[in-house]
Each structure stands twice: as structure tokens, then as C-alpha cells.
Chain A
Amino acid sequence: MAAVTLKNVVKRFGVFEIVHGANIDVNDGEFVVFVGPSGCGKSTLLRMIAGLEDISGGEIAIAGKVVNNVEPADRGIAMVFQSYALYPHMSVEQNLSFGLRMNGNPKADTERRVKRAAEILRIAELMKRRPRQLSGGQRQRVAIGRAIVREPQVFLFDEPLSNLDAELRVQMRVEISRLHKELGVTMIYVTHDQTEAMTLADRIVVLNAGNIEQIGAPLDLYDDPANRFVAGFVGSPKMNFMAAKVVGNDGAVTVELANHCGAKLRKPLSGAAPAVGTEVVLGVRPEHFFEAGEGDCDIAVKADVAEHLGSVSYVYANAGPEELIIEREASRQRANGDHMAVSIKADRSLLFDKSGARIR
């Protein structure tokens, strides 16, 4: 078992800097998820930890040892690829044992490890099959099995579930969670799916365009995002952002919502309040709209479309140029074109400045 430390890690491809100085501390036994939109550098970061990409700057340490110049195989890591990367010409059993056999591991020990991995992943009955005779979920299991037999200190997963259908994804998510509990080893997991990140992670690293936006426990990111990007990325459906202007500054700040007939919200702040006249953005999660009169500021909206999911409904309301998503307890009557009033609470909304930074 091992901690993984990234210190000012930089990655350049030619003249393009892809990762701009990442600092991450992954504790021993922790499950850390790298999450961010496509192309933000998650895979690159993971591949640098694995040793499949050179490190252009900074330091990566595994179990306290700097591994910048250590061969991938000597880093004590195992990686599960998005495409599974199984050896197509080998049976499941051979896939699992290949690395060990090639390194002259004692036969009995290899067999023991393969058997254990097969039991953990419940693939014992597939051992004689070739990868192409397996379903996507089974292939994924074999790929994870191949990582398990190496008995690594750190597991690296690069979007392991993105090729599976929704139902299987949920099932494998639970299995990976169980695996983490069973093995108790450090796991670093890359995904662009914030739901996967929220459900699996001890801590989440939110990446955007090669920068780390925030590192924190899932609910901390949800409750207390550092900036507008994190606020928008974490939580589903996305947080609503409404243009607003500071109109009062008397210990608490009072903002006027530009697109809601001048509705005003008074919100106490812990830091310095921005000057009157400053343009700001108010963020409210879909689930934080209350019945009219229950909050600190009521707004009227016109419902365009309602999605009824059974337990809840999402109302897409178009108020001027800003579309709002409002979560309501399922009520079947709500028809398109309805006018409705909802209420915002000061302590259930977040304030951001124009650049996206949080105003606390």
C-alpha cells in the first residue's frame, strides 16, 4: 500500500502545455477520483503516474519514493484501461497470468493469485474463453482481474466504465467500490462522469483545462465549491446561474436578479462584500428552489418543459435568456406553459464574481 504524491507536475506535448503544475496528495488506501470535462488532462495525469508518459516537470512519488525515472513495471501500480487492452489471442486465464509467467513467478503462486482474482471478480467460469467471446462487462472484469493479480500498491483506472451501458455501469461501480473495501489499497480513478466521481470517491480532484480547480470530499465539493466551474460540474442536474447586480452593501450583500423583474436577495457574507453596482452571478441548485414564500426571495417563472422521473420532476423554465432547471416533487398536473413561483434561500445559494471565483 502506498501514498501517491504529485508535486508541481507539468506535462508538455511539444510546445503545448497540457498539465500546468498539479499538486495532489493521495493518501494510503484512499480512493481518489480525477474528474473533469473531456480533454482536460485526466488521462495524461494518470498515465504519468503509471509511467506511460514522461513527466515534463515536477515530481511524482509513490510510497515516498520519487518515481520520475522508474520503469512503469517497477512503480508498484496496475492500470485498467478504458479499452480494456486485453491480449486478444490469449484466454482469460492466460490474460491474467501473462505478466507473472513472463517474469518467472513460481507456478503455484501464479495459480493462487489467478484463482483469487477470478473469485473476487466472479469470472471463474470464463477462464477458458477468449476476450472476443466475452461481453463488455466481463471484459472489464478480466481487465480488473489482470490488475489484481499483480497485487499492486496502487490501482489506476482510466474511465473503466465508459464503454458499458447504464445499468452495467451502476453494477460495476458498486463492484469497484466493494473491491476497494476488500483490498484496501490506494485507487486513482479517472472519469468525466460526475455521478461516478460522487459515488466512488473518498476525495475528488476536479480538473479543468490542465488546472486543478478543487480537491475535496464529494459532499464538500457539492456544498462548498471553490468556484463557478466546480459548482457547475458537481451535482446533477447542473446548478443554475443567474445574472445579478449588487444593490446593497450593509454587512450582508443585497443582489438584484437581472432577469427576474428586480427580485432582491439579501445574503450575509463572511468576507468583504463587493461594492454596489458590481455584476455578480447567483448560483442555485435545482433542488434548492422552495415553494413560494418559504425562502428569502420569490421569483416567478414560466415552465417550458417538465420531465417526470417518477420520484421527482425537473421543470425547465425559461426566464429571459436564462434557462432554469427546477426540481419539484413529482406532481403530474404541471403542464407546459404554467406559471409558477419559486423561492430562493440565502443560505442555499452561492455567489460568484464575474471571473467565476466564489464570493463567501
Chain B
Amino acid sequence: MRYQNATAYRFLAPYLLIFSIFWLWPIISSFLISFQATRTVPWRFAPTFNWGRLIGDPAFFNALKNTLLILVIQVPVMITLAIVMAVLLNSPLLKARGLFRFAFFAPVVVGEVAYSAVFRLMFNLDYGIINKLLNSVGLPRIDWFSNVTPAMAVIMIAVTWRWAGYNAIILLAGLQSIPQDVYEAATLDRVSKLKQFFYITLPLLKPIIVFCAVLSIIGTMQLFTEPFLITERGGPGGGTETLGLLLYRQGFRSLNFGYASAIAYTMAGLAIAISLVQLWLTREPK
């Protein structure tokens, strides 16, 4: 047994080495850096320097507010949408199932820059298709990128478009693991399709839904691409700046690594905390 363990570790060694250097060390290092003043040369240890600034920084709270706002609106909407898509994909009435499955999954593999450019074009004030559509049904055009609320909406729509299908595919696997005869038994029990969905499908799908929600919470906490590329670095005027963007701005524009590390740890802590609350709220009753 001992010997086998030792052999196993020898096989694991290359991975563990790389993991330690490129994952473990940065994690520890950035934690240490967050306690240092990094805009003096040399860096000096100042435990409250960055963390103290964080507590009183309006830019941080603005980014936190934006991130949480996107989280509480976009994640539930996307998960709901993903469930609906999964149920439709699972329907025996659906033709060309494989095509739809691919189409729903495709956004994930599209390059981020390309997709962001397309979204910017679609929501363009003068010749974007969205405004054309609004016009054609008699609604006024919206200046999507100059006002905070529409800009936030664009971010949420874009993120939802990109990840709903991905979640739907995961949920579809969950749906397919529910045995058919349970539904047949319910049909014999005179339970309508709708009630079957709420009383059988949803409860049985719950662990997968929670899994998707936790993944999405972690993803949204780190949201960066969309506000960086679509609303041009959190515009208008920081209105869509997220924690990820603030981190980038502090770390790589101002080269303030200490503060950026403190923000990074806050993001990770929040993601863990929210996920734990979520898991606790949806735990199996014993």
C-alpha cells in the first residue's frame, strides 16, 4: 500500500510541481502582497494599507454594487432560461435535436472579442439591428452605451446569451437521468404535465440547478470580458465597472498590485460566501 502510494505520487509529481509554481504560489503570494504597500520602492509591509483603502473606496463599492446587481438579475434569469431550453431540448416533439443542441452550445466556443464586437454592432445607436427592430415596432431608439441602465442591460443580455446554452446542456443531462416511468406513474396518477414539471422535474433536477447556479455565481463574480469590450472598460463613466474590471484597472493600469490583490481576495471570498449560502438554502432536508 505504502509503496503504491509512493508510486502514485511519483506519477503525480510533474503535475504537483507545475500546480505549486503556477497556482499555489500565486495564490499565497497575492495574499501576502495584499498586505503590502506596493507603490513604494521597495514594497513595504503595511497590513491595513490596502484593506483600509478598500473599505472606504467609492470605486470599490460602485464595482461591488454593479457586480452584485448583475448577479442577482442575470443569474436567476439565465438559469430559468436554461431550464426552459433544456426542457425543450428534451421534448420528444423536437425535430433536429442535434442541431439545436449545437446551436445552444455554440456561443461558448465563439471567441470573446468577436462576440463582443458583434454585440456592439447590434446595439449601435444608429445602425444597430436592435434599434432598427425597436423602430419598426414604433418604439424609440435607445442609446445603449451612453446611459447606465441600458448599458447594464446589454451586459446582462450578452452574458445570458453566452452562457444560457452551456447551462442548458448541463441541465439536459440531468433531465435525461430522470427515469421515464416516474412520469408515466404520475400520468396514471392524473398529474398534469405542468404539475409534473413543478413537483417531479424541478425537485429531481435541484442538485444540477444548484450546481449551475454556483458555477454562474463564480463566473459572474469574475465578470470582465463583457464590460471591458462591449461597454468599453465599464462605461459610461464606470457605470458598468465590475470588480474584475476594477482589479484589472488597479493591477495592470495603475500597477498597484497590493490593492489589486486585496480586491481579488474580496471577489473570491464573496463568491465562496454566496455559493455557501446558496448551498445551505437548497440543502436536502434530513
> Is the C-beta of A144 less than 8 angstroms from some C-beta in chain B?
no
Most A CB within 10 A of own CB, among B179, B186, B189, B190 = B189
With A52-B184, A79-B188, A102-B195 known to touch, is A87 a contact of B179 (CB < 8 Å)? no
Q: Say if the beta carbon of B187 comes within 8 Å of chain A.
A: yes
* Residues in B neighbouring A332, C-beta threshold 8 A: none
- Residues of A contacting B186 with CB < 8 Å? 87, 98-99
A203 at the interface (CB under 8 A from B): no
Q: Which residues of A contact B182 (CB under 8 A)?
A: 85-88
Q: Which residues of B contact A78 (CB under 8 A)?
A: 188
Binds A, one of B30-38, B144-152, B197-205: B197-205
Instruction: Give the complex CA separation of A150 and B185 in angstroms.
Output: 12
| A85–B184 CA distance with the chains assembled, in angstroms | 8
> Which residues 117-147 in A have Cβ within 8 Å of B in the complex?
146
Closest Cβ–Cβ distance, residue B242 to chain A (whole Å): 37
User: A309 contacts the other chain (Cβ, under 8 Å)?
Assistant: no
A301 to chain B, nearest CB (A): 48
Contact B185 A146 (CB under 8 A): yes
- Asked if A229 is at the interface (CB within 8 A of a chain B CB), the reply is no
B268 at the interface (CB under 8 A from A): no
Interface string of A65-83 (1 = CB under 8 A from B): 0000001111001110101
Interface size class of chain B, counting residues whose CB lies under 8 Å from the partner chain: 10 to 19
Q: A88-B204, A102-B195 are in contact. Are A81 and B185 (CB under 8 A)?
A: yes
Cβ of A355 within 8 Å of any chain B Cβ, yes or no, is: no
CB distance from A186 to the nearest CB of B (A): 16
Q: In the complex, what distance in Å separates the CA atom of A328 from the CA atom of B271? A: 77
Q: Is the CB of B188 within 8 A of A102?
A: no
Asked if B188 and A72 make an inter-chain contact with CB atoms under 8 angstroms apart, the answer reads yes
A103 at the interface (CB under 8 A from B): yes
**Could you say which residues of chain A place their CB within 8 Å of the CB of B204?**
88-89
Shortest distance between the CB of B190 and any CB in chain A (Å): 3
Judge whether A99 and B190 touch: CB under 8 Å: yes
**How far is it, in angstroms, between the C-alpha of A71 and the C-alpha of B191 when the chains are bound?**
11
In the complex the two chains form, is B191's CB within 8 Å of A89's CB?
A: no
Given A98-B199, A102-B195, A102-B199, residue A85 in contact with residue B187 (CB < 8 A)? no
The answer, yes or no, to whether A50 is at the interface (CB within 8 Å) is yes
In the complex, the answer to whether A73 meets B203 with C-beta atoms within 8 Å is no
- List of B residues within 8 angstroms of A150 by Cβ: 188-189
Per-residue 0/1 for B150-192: is the Cβ within 8 Å of any A Cβ (1 yes, 0 no)?
0000000000000000000000000000010110111111110
Question: Which chain B positions have C-beta within 8 A of A79?
Answer: 184-185, 188
Tell me which of A51, A77, A85 contacts B185 (CB under 8 A).
A85
**Complex interface residues of chain A between 39 and 74 (CB less than 8 A to chain B):** 50-52, 71-74
Point out the residues of chain A lying under 8 angstroms from B195, CB to CB.
Answer: 102
Minimum Cβ distance to chain A for residue B66 (Å): 38
Answer whether A73 and B187 are a contact pair too, CB < 8 Å, given A89-B203, A89-B204, A102-B199. Answer: yes
Task: Report how far A89 CA is from B179 CA in the complex, Å.
Answer: 13
**Which of B179, B187, B200 contacts A72, CB < 8 Å?**
B187
Q: How far is the CB of A60 from chain B (nearest CB, A)?
A: 15
Query: How far apart are the CA atoms of A98 and B191 in the complex, in Å?
Result: 9
Please, how many angstroms separate the alpha-carbon atoms of A77 and B187 in the complex?
12
CB-CB under 8 A from A102, the residues of chain B are: 189-191, 195, 199
Chain A: minimal CB distance from B180 (Å): 9
| Complex: chain A residue closest to B204, CB-CB | A89
Kindly state the separation between the CA atoms of A103 and B200 in the bound complex, as whole angstroms. Answer: 15
Residues B181 and A85 in contact, CB atoms below 8 Å apart: yes
Contact of A83 among B179, B191, B199 (CB under 8 A): B179
Query: A339-352 CB contact bits vs B (8 Å, 1 = yes)?
Result: 00000000000000
Q: How far is the CA of A99 from the CA of B187 in the complex (A)?
A: 9
Chain A residue nearest in CB terms to B187: A72
Nearest Cβ distance between residue A145 and chain B, in whole angstroms? Answer: 12
Residues of A within 8 A of B203 (CB): 89
Which of A74, A86, A98 gathers the greatest number of chain B CB atoms within 10 Å? A98
Q: Report the Cα distance A19→B88, complex, angstroms.
A: 32
User: Known: A89-B203, A102-B195. Is A83-B181 also a contact (CB below 8 A)?
Assistant: yes
Nearest CB in chain A: distance from B194 CB, A: 11
| B184 in contact with A99 (CB, 8 Å) | no
**Residue contact A73 to B190, C-beta cutoff 8 Å:** yes
Q: How far is the CB of A44 from chain B (nearest CB, A)?
A: 14
CA distance A51 to B189 in the complex (A): 12
Quote the shortest CB–CB distance from B186 to chain A (angstroms).
8
Report the nearest B residue to A83, measured CB to CB.
B181
Task: State how many angstroms separate the Cβ of B11 from the closest Cβ of chain A.
Answer: 36
Question: Which residues of chain A from 19 to 46 have a CB within 8 Å of any chain B CB?
Answer: none
- Binary CB contact string for chain A from 94 to 109 against chain B (1 if under 8 A, 0 otherwise): 0000110011000000
Cα distance, A155 to B270, chains bound together (Å): 56
Whole-angstrom CA separation of A146 from B187 in the bound complex: 13
Minimum CB distance partner of B181 in chain A: A85
> Residue of B at shortest CB range from A150?
B189
The 4 closest A-B CB pairs, nearest first, are A99-B189, A73-B190, A85-B181, A85-B185
Q: Would you mind naming 13 contact pairs between A and B with Cβ atoms under 8 Å apart?
A: A52-B188, A72-B187, A77-B188, A78-B188, A85-B184, A85-B185, A87-B182, A88-B204, A98-B189, A99-B188, A99-B189, A103-B190, A146-B185
Residues of B within 8 A of A (CB): 179, 181-182, 184-191, 195, 199-200, 203-204
8 more CB-based (< 8 A) A-B contacts, given A73-B190, A77-B188: A52-B188, A81-B185, A83-B179, A85-B185, A87-B182, A89-B200, A99-B188, A150-B188
